[in-house]
Structure 1
């Protein structure tokens, strides 16, 4: 009886768990058993591994083979365990020196011809391995660039299983060179955001966009078709600051699991921008799929912008499922195969027409919708959802006066003010669990405004009248602090609170 051991990594959401891969070879009726809660794709690795070993002209051990994936109680999914299973089996059979293999992580899918195929989620897998003390990692050649982004990892790449055997001191037969497998990911080229200078007029929406960027607030833009709602939303990423190193690793890990990351450009350092179509399903927006769910657009927009154009046209299930990430900054998706957690701390931007025909703004003389149709249309954006959207402003159609004024202020100038405001907020919130005004609870902010005489007067009146809920009042306070940060004040005054109420309700205080 012989035993070979190496390591792999199982992903549950973005959380990686090092798995010990043990292969026992016994002198009994030949067979191959795989235990340790494998899913269907992983169970099929028995056939892939055997075919890959034979294709590399390595003798297959004619014994009873039992492979255990420990801990056995943790569900394992996907084909990334193929390489580790093959190495453990060959180590047990004496084809590969077994010494030290238990501290080496092997990741990769095997083709029937023995070539190594790249897999999704290499970045969070390698990061989990390094965090657990496993520095040596072997991956397919196509995944070397991505795996090497993890600090502290000693990454080695291979094109075939025969190369892995030779890498560990084995002596496989000399085979002809094979071309490395092309990376099959549908990597999305990063979008280059347009410049705010292209937005003509729209003084209030531009201010709302700047305040939203400075404080990390969610935003609703309402107005007729062609007024510039989509253009404004697409400019928001351009005025957001670069991601910190920790944020870049986190965002890149999400896109690695989703299969949309191109490692050739290094870590993602700019805030992502996602704009799913209004026909997108809940699984496409919040994540899903068979077995353990994959991240959706909401998670891919983590630390960036999620834009829902024609928001009332989205299904109610899609809109209501966004309430969880808006409140907690993460998505918890339960499936029969297990529970996955994905970060989803994004800025939500909603765009909506005033009515189904879109012509109901202003006097609405050209609108053909009935009053009932208007109520039904806007009623698709539920009160609990809108209550979580800090900034709600109207976008009017551009007129001749706006055209005559020419180009507006460029994104670079606005981005500089946004960066300064965020720096002021970070300094004020140092020592707390928050970094943005949009994350701070209202009680904490209200306590620090008591010293400003009359600052909360209009806010208290709005609460008494019932025009603002308590959650809405907290949103106004957060906006007021952001407005104060943009103005360079250490504490917002009554004018800042009034502007915040206007941005929240669309009406002057």
Structure 2
């Protein structure tokens, strides 16, 4: 007897429908899975048959053939276990097969028939909702994230979380109906974000704080150069506290990536706080950018709609740093392999930190260089010019004064700074209303055409910018970055046009375009 039901496979951060065709026929007992299954699916034969037996189901000794269609798409993972088991039971007549065409069934089976959590439930649910399916059955641990996708699409999809194979059969046969999982998006967003560091906790560094405010207001990439202990890491960790809160669409995009990567915290239906990723400098280029044998999102994608913090930037390998160039420019990662090409979102803010010298501080207590000019230049040259061009703001973070360190005075809070950032972002949203379909929401995302339209300068400012470009030997990309930062500074000041003082301030944020001894 032949039965057919629906499962799903994840490709990139999206899912596609997989038809599971199961046929029981006379012949020597066998269990064959075809349709480009990976080793995890091939091994599922033992899991499925043992789980069926331990759940009290008797399967006749027949030849079982399962086809996963379309057959030219490679299927990976253990999420097919439950659909294989239900397919066999449907072919045996134990489960009615009439309504399975509108039901998406997923789950990993344990040997005792219980269900374990799967990865990629959210994009699979989004696919089911998009295709107009009526039911989705999956492990109880994944039910809330799948219900979020159903709620986002406003579809008729009902999500049922089950804990075992027996419970799934009871649901399909109507012996033990259970209520579909319901989720309240407003309740999820009602929880206040928890930030470990507030800007008021940071002593001194007023110039650096202002630069971080500008970066947050325009979603600009920023690099901080300063000696060890000057507060670069603390400033970076405080940055999410002044960023605008995530809207539902952003939260859904970010949660989808974490769901596919298997990093979504247990019991968490939706990520409502902007991610902050801080990979170690020994991180490989594959871990940073994504891909691998079993393609997964990398750190740049896990930081989507949030912050990617690279501490000790020159210590990262040259290959790892150079692979950042495409996502910084395109806001997505394209991973090409012989079998397929996968795209991952990578719209992050890059925050980098480095010492001005391989010895740490540039000069010692006597004012002497801590390393030779050649050593310092070699150290700085580990960061290529094209990568620096893609970083909008270069800021010096000097050693904190002792007086500031022992002062009991509280600095400006993150909440106060965030208010100014939100006002600047509101100006930008109105400005880019006509470009919403191009996903342009901040000044850092402006194209060349938009720069010409929104970043016009007067004659004096044009002359100053031209002189700075010649003196600092700036590239055309650096020219555009200066104009974008100038536009953000003007927005923070409530100015309709870029003024001369806004431009001068933006030019000063190109410190790595100067020689190190001019610090």
Structures share fold, TM-score greater than 0.5: yes
Task: Give 2:215's aligned residue.
Answer: 212
- CA–CA distance in structure 2, aligned partners of residues 361 and 417 of structure 1: 36
Q: Offset of 1:337 from its aligned partner? A: 5.5
**Contact 1:286 1:295 survives alignment (8 Å):** yes
> Residues 161, 240 of structure 1: CA spacing in aligned structure 2 closer, same or farther, 3 A cutoff?
same
1:478 and 2:484 aligned: yes
**Secondary structure class of the residue paired with 1:302:** coil
The separation in 1 between residues aligned to 2:289 and 2:246, in whole angstroms, is: 22
Structure 2 unaligned blocks of 5 or more:
177-192
Aligned residue for 1:268, secondary structure, equals: coil
Q: 2:224 aligns with which of 218, 221, 224?
A: 221
After TM superposition, list the pairs within 5 Å mapping 1:105-504 onto structure 2: 105-150=104-149, 151=151, 152=155, 153-169=157-173, 192-262=195-265, 264-291=267-294, 293-335=295-337, 338-361=340-363, 365-403=367-405, 404=407, 406-432=409-435, 433=438, 434-450=440-456, 452-465=458-471, 467-504=473-510
Q: Secondary structure at the match of 1:264?
A: coil
Deviations 1:390-446 (A, max 9, x none): 000111011134344832211111000001101100101111121110010234223
Distance in 2, matches of 1:456 and 1:443, equals 17
Q: Deviations over 1:144-184 (max 9, x none)?
A: 22222221331112211111111111779xxxxxxxxxxxx
Distance in 2 (alpha carbons) for counterparts of 1:193 and 1:339: 39
Please state which structure has a larger fraction of its residues in helix. 2
> How far did 1:18 drift?
1.1
Tell me, in whole angstroms, the C-alpha distance in 1 between the residues paired with 2:132 and 2:55.
31
CA contact (8 A) 2:10 2:260 kept: no
- Structure 1 residue 205, shift from structure 2 partner: 0.9
User: For residues 336 and 115 of structure 1, what CA distance do their matches in structure 2 show?
Assistant: 37
**Structure 2: distance between partners of 1:362 and 1:239:** 34
1:317 Cα offset (Å): 1.4
Aligned length: 489
Given that 1:217 and 1:347 are in contact with CA atoms closer than 8 Å, whether structure 2 keeps it comes out as yes
Q: 1:144 to 1:365 in 2, by over 3 A?
A: same
Kept after mapping to 2: 8 A contact 1:95/1:170: no
Moved more, 393-402 or 411-420: 393-402
CA contact (8 A) 1:220 1:391 kept: yes
**Structure 1 residue 241 displacement after superposition:** 0.8
* CA shift for structure 1 position 367: 3.9
Q: Which moved more, 1:438-447 or 1:489-498?
A: 438-447
Task: Assess, with a 3 A threshold, how the Cα gap between structure 1 residues 505 and 356 changes in structure 2: closer, same or farther.
Answer: closer
Return the alpha-carbon distance in structure 2 between the equivalents of residues 198 and 320 of structure 1: 34
TM score, norm. by length of structure 1:
0.91
Instruction: Look up the match of 2:186.
Output: none
The change in CA–CA distance for 1:133 and 1:354 in structure 2 (over 3 A counts) is: same
Write the distance in 1 (CA, Å) between the matches of 2:320 and 2:196. 26
